[in-house]
Amino acid sequence: MSMKDVVKEIEGKVVEFGGVVETITDTAVFVEIPKERVKEFAKWLYNAGAFLKTCAGVDERSINSRFAVYHIFGLDEKGIDVVLRISSLEGEALPSIASEVPAAEWCELEARDMLGLHILGHESKPRLVLPQDWPNAVYPLRKDVPYDYRPPSSVENFGKELPSEVGLPVGPYHPILHEPEYFELYVEGERVVDVFYRGFHVHRGIEKLAESPRFTYKTIPFLAERICGICGFVHSSCYVLTVERAAKIEVPERAQFIRSIVLEIERIHSHLLWLGVAAHILGYDAGFMHIWRIREPIMVLAELLTGSRKTYGINIVGGVRRDIDESKKKKALDVLRNVREEFKRFVEVFTSVPEIVKRATGTGVLPKDDARALSVVGPTARGSGLRRDVRKDYPYFAYRLASFKVPVYSEGDNLARLLVRVDEVFESISIVEQLLDALPRGSIAVESYEIPSFRKAVGAVEAPRGEDVHFIITGHGRPYRWRVRAPTYQNIPALKIMLRNTPLADAFLTIASIDPCFSCTDRAVVIRDVRSGFRRFASLFEGRRYANK
Amino acid sequence: MDYTSLALITAIPFLVAPIYDSIERKVKAAIQSRIGPLGLARSFLQSWFDLIKLFSKELVLTSYGMALITILELLFVSITVVILQIFLITPQLEWVIALLITFLSISSAFSLIRAISLDNPFSSIGAFREFYVTLAVEGFFLSSLAIMLLVEEPIIIKMLLFCIAALSCYVLSGRTPFDIAEAEPEIASGVYIELSGPLLATTSYSLHIRRYVLAEILSYTLLKLIGIAGTGFASLITLLLTPITWIVLGVVSVMLGRTRVDVGPITLLKVMLILIFLMFVAMIFVVRLV
């Protein structure tokens, strides 16, 4: 079925459900459906093979006096997004689609918390994103709430939502969690029977910050890159891709190649880092140390190509800020050749350590059906038999010109997710080599561009942890609404299934197996110097240092 | 032997155990492509520096009982090592062997009691893990050691007894893959979670001494296996062999990952039973030959 036929079929269904097609672009169809029939339409889309990417609540009162929820579906096999809008006046109820599409649960709860939307079926559920001491009836993503609003804290609300039964606490600070999150494991002997999760301890309101007068389209890439300390380039890439799609900006081919190369380098170092962490969790510290040694030349390579080991800062709307010359190209190819050889030797040893194989096999199982229902992404999905990879399904930047395999394992256990990452390191090395060899000549950024207001676009980039999704409604000088959905956000709900019936010892490997990035999921803190009144945004750890002062 | 030599021999383990641990850390670092403790002095004395630093920290007690058990654990493991040194000088005294085995068992029990006495879910999990591991090997270890030290057996039985002793020494030294009671990434150091400052130093020192005891026993049984134990020269060789045995055990642990409580102890038990079965077969074979 061609793209035209797919779009035609969607149009027909939209009319059948009494809706209207708002816009059709090369990569997405934007439709509006009456809220009474949204469940049926969502069910049809889901049954047609669509995955729910995320949903975004928007305060559109300054445009049309309404609140809207955008459900973003992706038809992976067809390579097209379907953005489904429903809206209501303030105080009116909106239906939930979580009963038909379980993956919608979290984003609907987030829209309820952040915008005060009345979403049917979620009324009695505890807060997902807002802290317990946040005042009632203050909804941070509403346009009338200042971006630097800081409510007074009231400690009496803390602890109200915790389950009465006491389990084994894991977090907010635990050796295995390198960022603060809270899991409570209920165990029988040494077997996990249930789990309670509380996240968003470090929610930094980054979406709201981007809508503030402090930021513009040009500066947001640098903010986006600070969403994550490991895969920040993914976020800045996804942001610029989304803005470029909304504004229909044609990015020079050379810039597209450079973005893809840096994205793959980021994937390699992220996967190598994860393998080290996995080895450490399994008590194999020799593996941990050696894989980080192998990773080091990749970090040096990133510095050579971008100027920084991390937080590269080379993405701008319309291109990149830094070029790759012939000498860098040659050095990069040498480094990749050595890393491939060393990594091959490492994998041979690593996968022959009996404790590693024994403990990763058959533990933390996520069946394919559950993976599908929760629309999990990245190695978590591919380890459960789902062939999902944005680079293949919705080719962007220079990926359509690269030849690579998408590793898929059907077992759904920790070993499957581990092997997906191992295979992906080899594939990524190959992609970088191909793209460096074929790097076209030309400019690296457009001369000028214009971004019209109230255009909508969805962008998705395959991060090391899976699909990163950004949704934008353009505004004057900056986005009217910028929604970021990190891969971990989509994968955490699956942990409840993966942890059940897992040996306690392997519960920690299971949590780590989705490669959780809580800073991505929770999302820079604005720092105000009380003496000078100067404000700027900062990373979480820098913020902590200021707090301690 | 004069009193000075006796005092020196019994003092050796208390001084050198942290030094052997420092060397093990340096060797492990080299295998793992790290630098480890920096400089010549720290390569040998880092664990001593760590202990001194911990002893200088504030004393935080979650319960007085725990402090008492921690001190008693060190006391009993110290008595064990003193008896071991006496045995090394006078291997012919059978009552010393009986005393050594008794105190080995008591110090092991105190290590378990300390783990169980901590009121913390992570510690409780660690304690039960330690209990399972100890249960899987302790009985086999003590009985095989007693037979090996008290009875002269044919070489085939000696070899099987040595295998049991070697495996037990490795397991009881709390190294990977059998460090499941502390398992830092999983249960936040488990049995050590409530310990800090001087108490943690005391427990760490007990562990160093315990590892010394096990390394020296293993060195002695090795000499016994090759038939040169029981002389003054053999005792000297045992003392020299102990750091090598210690480091070998450390190197083995670098190459392995951590096991799981439902896998490790059961596997150990199976291996022990197989070794015991082989020993019985060998005994029957030997008796028939005679």
Name chain B contacts of A173, Cβ cutoff 8 Å.
none
- Enumerate the residues of chain A whose CB falls inside 8 A of the CB of residue B25: none
Report chain B's terminal Cα–Cα distance, integer Å. Answer: 41
- pLDDT for the residue numbered A184: 86
Q: Which residue of B has its CA nearest to A191?
A: B262
Q: Kindly state whether residue A156 falls inside one of the protein's structural domains.
A: no
Residues A43 and A128 occupy one common structural domain: yes
User: Taking a contact as any Cβ pair under 8 Å apart, which residues of chain B between 243 and 282 contact chain A?
Assistant: 254-263
Nearest CA in chain B to A285: B254
Report the C-alpha gap between A69 and B143 in whole angstroms: 72
Residues from A contacting B (CB-CB < 8 Å) are 168-169, 174-176, 190, 279-290, 293, 353-356, 358-359, 503-508
A244, A533 contact by CB (below 8 A)? no
pLDDT (0 to 100) of residue B66: 84
Q: A408 vs chain B: nearest CA distance in angstroms?
A: 26
The tokens describing B61, both together, are 């007690």
**Residue A9 confidence (pLDDT):** 93
pLDDT at A440: 96
A-chain residues within 8 Å CB-CB of B185?
Answer: 175-176, 280-281, 283, 508
**pLDDT tens digit sequence for B63-73:** 788 889 999 99
> What pLDDT shows up at residue A544?
39
Of residues A158 and B182, the one with the higher pLDDT is B182
| DSSP 3-state of A83 | strand
Chain A residues in contact with B257 by the CB 8 A cut-off are: 279, 282-284, 287, 353-356, 359
Q: Give chain B's mean pLDDT.
A: 89
CATH number of the domain to which A97 belongs: 3.30.460.80
Contacts of B31 in chain A (CB under 8 A): 286
Domain that holds residue A127: 3-145
Residue A297 counted as domain residue: yes
The tokens for A118 are 């009345």
Q: Number of A:B CB contacts under 8 A?
A: 81
| CA quadruple A84, A88, A90, A94: dihedral, nearest 10 | -80
Residues of B in contact with A279 (CB under 8 A): 257
Quote the pLDDT of residue B148: 87
Q: A161 in a domain, yes or no?
A: no
A512 & A412 share domain: yes
Do A210 and A117 lie in a common domain?
A: no
Residues A136 and A245 both lie in one domain = no
Same domain, yes or no: A228 and A128: no
ipTM over 0.90: no
**Same structural domain, A410 and A507:** yes
Co-location of A292 and A418 in the same domain: yes
Q: Is B119 on the interface with A (CB under 8 A)?
A: no
> Pick from A168, A355, A508: which is nearest to B121 by CB?
A168
Same-domain pairing of A507 and A383: yes
Domain boundary residue among A102, A124, A145? A145
Is position A189 within any domain?
Answer: no
- A437 Cβ neighbours under 8 A, 6+ residues apart: none
List the single residue in A355, A506, A507 with the smallest CB-CB distance to B256. A355
Which residues of chain A does B183 touch, with a Cβ-Cβ cutoff of 8 Å? 283, 505
Q: Which residue has the tokens 């994205």?
A: A263
- Spatial distance between the Cα atoms of B95 and A40, rounded to a whole number of angstroms: 85
For residue A163, the model assigns a pLDDT of 59
What would the two tokens of residue A443 be?
């400019």
- Under a CB-based contact definition with an 8 Å cutoff, are residues B213 and B77 in contact? yes
- State pLDDT tens for residues B265-288: 899 999 999 999 998 898 888 888
Q: How many CA atoms lie within 13 A of B164 on its CB side?
A: 28
Tell me which chain A residue has its CA closest to the CA of residue B178.
A283
| CA distance to partner chain A, nearest, from residue B196 (Å) | 16
CA–CA dist B180, B273 (Å, integer): 22
Distances (CA, A) of A472 to A44, A180, A482, B99: 25, 29, 5, 78
Please answer yes or no on whether A286 and B32 come within 8 Å at the CB atom.
Answer: yes
Say which of A289, A353, A504 has its CB closest to residue B257: A353
* pLDDT given at position A152: 78
Of B180, B186, B257, the CB nearest to A356: B257
What are the φ/ψ torsions at residue B177 (nearest 5 degrees)? -90, 5
> Using only C-alpha atoms, what is the Rg of chain A?
23
Q: Which of A129, A145, A161 is the last residue of a domain?
A: A145
CB distance B33–A354 less than 8 Å?
no
- A141 and A210, same domain (yes or no): no
Domain boundary among A145, A171, A195: A145
pLDDT tens, A416-446?
999 999 999 999 999 999 999 999 999 999 9
Which residue in B25, B32, B252 has the most chain A C-beta atoms within 10 A of its own C-beta, making it the best mutation to test that interface?
B32
**Among all residues of chain B, which has the CA nearest to that of A168?**
B121
The answer to whether A181 touches A198, Cβ cutoff 8 Å, is yes
Q: State yes or no: cis peptide before A297, omega within 30 of 0.
A: no
Q: Are residues A229 and A140 in the same domain?
A: no
What number of other Cβ atoms are within 10 A of residue B261's Cβ?
Answer: 22
pLDDT value of residue A316: 95
Instruction: Give how far Cα A270 sits from Cα of A6, A283, A416, Å.
Output: 36, 20, 17
Residue B184 sits at the chain A interface (C-beta within 8 Å): yes
Tally Cβ neighbours within 10 Å of residue B285. Answer: 13
Q: How far is B193 from chain A (nearest CA, A)?
A: 12
Give the pLDDT means over successive 10-residue stretches in chain A (549 positions). 86 94 94 94 94 95 95 94 95 93 93 94 89 87 91 64 69 78 85 86 86 94 92 95 96 97 97 94 92 96 95 94 95 97 96 90 94 95 96 95 96 96 97 96 95 96 96 96 94 92 89 83 49 47 41
pTM score, two decimals?
Answer: 0.90
A64 within domain boundaries: yes
Residue A297's pLDDT is 97
- Check A505 against B260: CB less than 8 A apart: yes
Q: What is the CATH number of the domain that holds A259?
A: 1.10.645.10
- Give the pLDDT score at A524: 41
Q: Does a structural domain hold residue A166?
A: no
Smallest CA–CA distance, residue A229 to chain B, in Å, is 21
B130-165 pLDDT tens trace:
889 998 999 999 999 998 888 888 888 889 999 999
Q: Does A153 fall in a domain? A: no
Yes or no, beta carbons of A355 and B121 under 8 Å apart:
no
- Span B24-63, pLDDT tens digits: 999 999 999 999 999 899 999 999 999 999 999 998 887 7
Domain shared by A219 and A140, yes or no:
no
| Neighboring chain A residues of B34 at a CB cutoff of 8 Å | 289
Between A527 and B121, the more confident residue is B121
Share of chain B above pLDDT 90, in %: 49
Q: Å from A357 to nearest chain B CA?
A: 10
CB contact under 8 A, A353 and B179: no
Is A305 among the domain residues?
A: yes
Q: How far is A187 from chain B (nearest CA, A)?
A: 11
- Check whether residue A89 and residue A238 sit in a common domain: no
Among A281, A286, A354, select the one facing B185 at the smallest CB separation: A281
| Residue in A169, A176, A354 nearest the CB of B185 | A176
Q: How far is CA A95 from CA A59, A74, A78, A285, A355, in A?
A: 17, 20, 28, 50, 49
Number of domains in chain A: 2
CB-CB: which of B184, B189, B258 is closest to A355? B258
Neighbours of A137 (CB within 10 A): 5
Residue from the list A175, A190, A353 with its beta carbon closest to the beta carbon of B185: A175
Q: Are strands A466-474 and A456-463 parallel, antiparallel or unpaired?
A: antiparallel
